[in-house]
Amino acid sequence: MTPNNPFDADYSGAAIFSFEEVVNEAQPVPPGGTAQYVVFRVNSALFLENTSYQVKVRDLVTGDEDLVGQVPVGSDVLRYQRDTVQFGTGDVCLELRLSNNLSYGRAETICGPL
């Protein structure tokens, strides 16, 4: 493993992830309600070569975990749908790890306002 490879757990380079925004979207009926997404960016310029990936997400507020893929393929802006919708003041924080070939990179935390 190379310490400058963002897919390695011992990667020691620049931040891979950055917070973009929280988006609340009304959902059609049924089921209705609101879906809440945390939008974040992956700095793929750090990758040693162009590759597809997923991001393992752990919501540090709720403890929920998920694996988020690139939609559309090739996009570096990803959206994590929270299971628990929260409105108002406060922050949401996510622990993020790059994932490909069944391995996970270094954990990073991003936070942003709800």
Two tokens at 12?
């020691």
The amino acid sitting at 90 is G
Instruction: Locate the domains of the chain by residue range.
Output: 17-113
Q: What number of CA atoms fall less than 13 Å from residue 108's CA on the CB side?
A: 23
Two tokens at 99?
């994932």
Integer Cα distance of 40 and 96 in angstroms: 10
Q: Which pLDDT value is given to residue 28?
A: 84
What's this model's pTM, rounded to 2 decimal places? 0.91
What pLDDT digit, counting tens, does each position of 1-30 carry? 555 899 999 999 999 999 999 999 998 877
- Name the CATH topology of 17-113: Immunoglobulin-like (2.60.40)
Nearest to 7 by CA among 63, 52, 64: 52
Asked whether 81 and 35 are in contact (CB, 8 A), the reply is: yes
What pLDDT digit, counting tens, does each position of 66-87 carry? 999 998 888 999 999 998 888 8
Q: Which pLDDT value is given to residue 31?
A: 76
